Amino acid sequence: MKKSIILLLILISVGSYAQTSFQITCNPFLQNMQSNAVTVFWEVNKTAKSWIEMGTNSVLGTKVTHSEDGLIDVGNGIQKVKLENLKAGEKYFYRVCSKEITTLQGYKVIYGDSVFSQMYSFTMPPKPVEAFSFLVFNDLHNNASFVGNVTNSHPEFSFAVFNGDIPTDINDETNFCKYIFSPLSTAFATQKPIVMVRGNHETRGAASRNLYKYFDTPTGKYYYSYTWGNTFFLILDCGEDKQDANREYFGLADYDKYRSTEAVWLQEVVKSKEFKQAKFKVVCIHMPIAQKSIGAVADDHGTNDCGKKFLPILNKAGVDLILSGHTHTYRIIQKEKGFSTCPIVIGGAPYSAKSPDKTTYTKVEVSSKSLVARLMNLSGKEIDKVEKKK
C-alpha cells in the first residue's frame, strides 16, 4: 500500500515537472525609442496574446496591444508591442502581460492562464536634448554577462548600441533571449533602449531569417537612421564578411546585391534635412570599413565591399565618427587620407573571464559643442579617445 502511494506521488511530481507552466521567459527590453514612441519586447514560452498596461503613475490604466490588419498578434516566443503618442521628458510606468491560448481555431478559442511582469518604468528623452551619452558594445558572442557592470558604472547613459556579432549564430532562437536579452533586461533594458546592429554572425543559423522578430527599426530593415538630440545616427548592415560564393555560406548568401541596395538608401538619407541639420553624424557598422587601415586579407570581401559602396558616400556627406567591431582587436584609426575622413573606433572582444583585458566598450559623450568617444577597458579605464569640436 505504502509503495503504491509513493509511486503515485512520484508520477504526479514527474507529470507536473513535464508540464511546464505558462511563464514569461525573458523580461522586457526596449528598442526603437523615438521622440514619441518606444517598442517593448518580451518572451513567453507558449502561444499567447499579449498587451501592455501603462500609465504616468503606478495605477497604470491604459492597455496597449499590437495588431496587424485588424488581427491582434497571437504567437509563441517573442512578443512585441509599440507604445505611441508618448510625451517628451515624461516618465512612464508599465508591465507586460500575456494570456495563454491553448486552442486557436476558426470557431473555437480557449484561453489559459495569464502572466504579468513586475512594474517597470522608462523616461522619454526631453525636448530638446541638451547633452547625452551612449555606450557601445560589440562581438558579445553570446556572453552579455559583463554588460551589467558597465551600465551600472555609467548610470547617466541614454541608450546602448550592440554593434553586431551579439550571438555567434542563431540556430536556436530561444538562446537569443537566454544569453543576450535576459541579461540586458536585468542590466538596464527595461528602462533604456537597446540599439541593435546586425553583424555578420547574426546572419548565420537556421533561425537567422527570423531575426526581424527581435529587431524594431524605423525602416523595418536592418539598416536605418534616427536622430537623438543634435546627432544623426546611421545604422548600417555590413552583411557577411566573405564572398557570397564562399563554401561557408552553402549557396545561401546574396550580400553584394544587398549592399548595393543599401547604398542607394544611404545616398538618399544623407540628402535629408535631418542629416544636414544635425550637428554631429555617427555611423555604427559592425565591420570596420576602411579596410586598408586594418590590414586587408584575401577573404575580407564584405569589408572591402562596404568600403567601396558606403565609404565614398559617407566621406562626401561628412560624418564625424564610425563605430565598429568585428576584428576582436581594439583600435582607433584616425582619419586617413584617401580612406575615411573621420576616425573609426573598433571595440575589442570577445569577453573572457581569463583575459578581460581584450574586451572594451566605448562611451560616447555628446554636447552642444563636442563629441567625444572614449575606448574603455572593463576596469573603467580610458584606453584612448577621439574628440571632435564644432
Report, in Å, the least distance between residue 294 CB and Fe ion.
12
Residues 146-175 that bind Fe ion (CB under 5 A): 165
Question: Which is nearest to 144 in space by CA: 191, 174, 180?
Answer: 180
**Per CB under 5 A, does 198 bind Fe ion?**
no
Name the pairing type of β-strands 370-377 and 360-366: antiparallel
C-alpha cell at 388: 571632435
Q: In the chain, what is the straight-line distance between the N-terminal and C-terminal CA atoms, in Å?
A: 86
| 331 CB-near residues (< 8 Å, 6+ apart) | 294, 346
**Per CB under 5 A, does 200 bind Fe ion?**
yes
Cβ nearer to Fe ion, comparing 44 with 283: 283
**Per CB under 5 A, does 365 bind Fe ion?**
no
Report, in Å, the least distance between residue 166 CB and Fe ion.
10
**What letter does residue 223 receive in the DSSP assignment?**
S
* Closest residue to Fe ion in the complex (CB): 326
CA 146, 147, 148, 154 dihedral sign is: positive
Report, in Å, the least distance between residue 104 CB and Fe ion.
39
Q: Which stretch binds Fe ion (CB under 5 A): 193-201, 230-238, 250-258, 352-360?
A: 193-201
C-alpha cell at 143: 556572453
Q: Which stretch binds Fe ion (CB under 5 A): 77-85, 196-204, 228-236, 338-346?
A: 196-204
Q: Which stretch binds Fe ion (CB under 5 A): 118-126, 195-203, 253-261, 380-388?
A: 195-203
**Other Cβ atoms closer than 10 A to 297:** 11
Residues 284-303 that bind Fe ion (CB under 5 A): none
User: How far from 217 is each of 20, 139, 220, 221, 340, CA to CA, in Å?
Assistant: 33, 20, 5, 7, 27
Residue 346 · residue 358 · CB < 8 Å: no
**Per CB under 5 A, does 203 bind Fe ion?**
no
Report, in Å, the least distance between residue 303 CB and Fe ion.
9
**Other Cβ atoms closer than 10 A to 267:** 15
Q: Which stretch binds Fe ion (CB under 5 A): 187-195, 204-212, 320-328, 336-344?
A: 320-328
User: How far from 61 is each of 40, 53, 57, 150, CA to CA, in Å?
Assistant: 17, 7, 9, 34
Cβ nearer to Fe ion, comparing 52 with 238: 238
Question: Which is nearest to 27 in space by CA: 119, 125, 159?
Answer: 119
**Per CB under 5 A, does 326 bind Fe ion?**
yes
Cβ nearer to Fe ion, comparing 98 with 138: 138
Report, in Å, the least distance between residue 386 CB and Fe ion.
22
Question: Which stretches of the chain bind Fe ion, using CB under 5 A?
Answer: 165, 199-200, 326
